[in-house]
């Protein structure tokens, strides 16, 4: 997949919001913990954000529906400017649905992640079913149901696409930005994602990508002795000193996450999506 295409799609899905504060009403809907079983009637409160400033419910104006990612929905609502910018033109209701098990939408409260019997309901299939119920709730009492356009980026983009594919009677279309819908074993080679990450650094500077590639061996060489671990810990001002090989492995994993996240938010404008960064942070 061409990184240029990914970055262009990200531009449209997540626009700069450093100077903009979007407002919405916080609402909740009770949804089943398990949509596909008849053995339990347990429910939980799914949080969603709604802005009806430009929407006339009984005019069948569209619903712009963001399929929440793996995180607090308020973060995505404040960093998805495209939906907000075009909503007035279409007279659309803007809705951001929170993904179950994230933010405040915890099926079992503080116990949600403590045991497989609780976390076992964290699946994309269950999340999609949550969104379908929410859409039906939004369309209630309408003589002519408002058409729904799903929006999402990354995993949320996958969900937007899957919502359109699995429930075409509920969703008229989907804008799925940077959505790796085929990123599954047997469909897409596992290393493809990191090829895209590397290409982002190559686009900034061939030397940049080459230096990162060489750094892994240098880190291994320096940390092969206790003195080297101590030197690196001091000079890099690490929060905790490197003591073991596992510590070094954790450090390298952390660096991989940093490089990956910078590639994902390498927008041509300042952004505060994950953390505040300048335009094209890879090149800074």
pLDDT in tens, 67-85: 999 999 999 999 899 999 9
| 192-283 CATH pick, 1.10.357.10, 3.40.630.150, 1.20.140.10, 1.20.120.980 | 1.20.120.980
Whether residue 13 is predicted with pLDDT greater than 90 in this model: the reply is: no
**Could you tell me the pLDDT band of residue 206, with boundaries at 50, 70 and 90?**
confident
DSSP assignment of 117-153 equals HHHTT--HHHHHHHHHHHHHHHTTT-SSPPPEEEEEE
Whether residue 24 is predicted with pLDDT greater than 90 in this model: the reply is: yes
Distances (CA, A) of 131 to 14, 83, 151: 21, 17, 12
Task: Copy the structure tokens of residue 196.
Answer: 């895209």
**Could you tell me the pLDDT band of residue 274, with boundaries at 50, 70 and 90?**
confident
Mean pLDDT, the chain, integer: 91
Residue 203 phi/psi, 5° resolution?
Answer: -70, -25
Tell me the average pLDDT across 50-55.
Answer: 97
**Could you tell me the pLDDT band of residue 6, with boundaries at 50, 70 and 90?**
very low
- pLDDT value at position 214? 95
**Do strands 43-51 and 25-32 pair parallel, antiparallel, or not at all (unpaired)?**
antiparallel
**Could you tell me the pLDDT band of residue 17, with boundaries at 50, 70 and 90?**
very low
Least confident interval from 18-22, 87-91, 151-155, 156-160: 18-22
**Could you tell me the pLDDT band of residue 16, with boundaries at 50, 70 and 90?**
very low
- pLDDT value at position 19? 52
Whether residue 9 is predicted with pLDDT greater than 60 in this model: the reply is: no
Distance of alpha carbon 190 from alpha carbon 196, whole angstroms: 11
Residue 91 phi/psi, 5° resolution?
Answer: 60, 40
Whether residue 100 is predicted with pLDDT greater than 80 in this model: the reply is: yes
Contact criterion met (CB below 8 Å) for 67 and 156: yes
Task: Copy the structure tokens of residue 198.
Answer: 């590397």
Whether residue 121 is predicted with pLDDT greater than 50 in this model: the reply is: yes
Distance of alpha carbon 99 from alpha carbon 160, whole angstroms: 12
Identify the DSSP state of 274.
S
Cβ burial, residue 35 (10 Å; 0-12/13-18/19+)? middle
Write down the H helix ranges in the chain. 3-13, 73-77, 81-90, 116-119, 124-138, 155-166, 192-204, 206-222, 226-235, 245-264
Query: What are the residue ranges spanned by the domains of the chain?
Result: 3-177, 192-283
Exposure of 228 in the CB half-sphere (CA atoms within 13 A): 12
Contact criterion met (CB below 8 Å) for 145 and 139: yes
Q: Does domain 3-177 have CATH number 3.40.50.1820?
A: yes
In which residue are the tokens 């913990």 written? 33
Distance of alpha carbon 211 from alpha carbon 225, whole angstroms: 23
Q: What percent of the chain has pLDDT over 70?
A: 93
Distance of alpha carbon 137 from alpha carbon 28, whole angstroms: 11
CA angle 126, 45, 178 (to 5 degrees): 45
Distance of alpha carbon 39 from alpha carbon 176, whole angstroms: 34
Instruction: Of 153, 27, 29, 12, give the one whose Cα is nearest residue 84.
Output: 12
Which residues, 6 or more positions from 263, have their beta carbon under 8 angstroms from its beta carbon? Answer: 196, 197, 200, 201, 282
């Amino acid at each position: 997949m061409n990184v240029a295409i990914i970055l262009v799609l990200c531009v449209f899905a997540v626009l700069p919001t450093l100077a903009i504060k979007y407002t919405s009403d916080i609402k909740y809907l009770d949804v089943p913990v398990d949509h596909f079983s008849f053995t339990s009637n347990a429910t939980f409160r799914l949080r969603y954000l709604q802005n009806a400033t430009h929407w006339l419910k009984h005019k069948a104006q569209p619903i712009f529906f963001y399929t929440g990612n793996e995180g607090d929905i308020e973060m995505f609502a404040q960093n998805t400017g495209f939906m907000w910018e075009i909503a007035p033109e279409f007279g659309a209701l803007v809705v951001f649905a929170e993904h179950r098990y994230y933010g405040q939408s915890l099926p079992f409260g503080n116990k949600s992640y403590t045991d497989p019997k609780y976390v076992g309901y964290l699946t994309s299939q269950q999340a999609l079913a949550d969104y379908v119920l929410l859409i039906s709730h939004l369309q209630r009492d309408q003589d002519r149901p408002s058409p729904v356009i799903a929006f999402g980026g990354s995993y949320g983009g996958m969900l937007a696409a899957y919502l359109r594919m699995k429930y075409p009677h509920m969703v008229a279309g989907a804008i799925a930005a940077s959505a790796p819908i085929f990123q599954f074993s047997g469909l897409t080679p596992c290393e493809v994602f990191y090829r895209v990450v590397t290409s982002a650094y190559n686009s900034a500077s061939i030397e940049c990508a080459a230096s990162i590639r060489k750094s892994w061996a240098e880190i291994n060489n320096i940390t092969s002795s206790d003195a080297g671990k101590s030197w690196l810990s001091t000079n890099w001002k690490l929060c905790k000193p490197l003591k073991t090989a596992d510590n070094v492995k954790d450090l390298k994993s952390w660096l991989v996450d940093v490089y990956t996240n910078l590639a994902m938010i390498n927008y041509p404008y300042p952004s505060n999506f994950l953390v505040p960064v300048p335009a094209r942070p890879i090149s800074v």
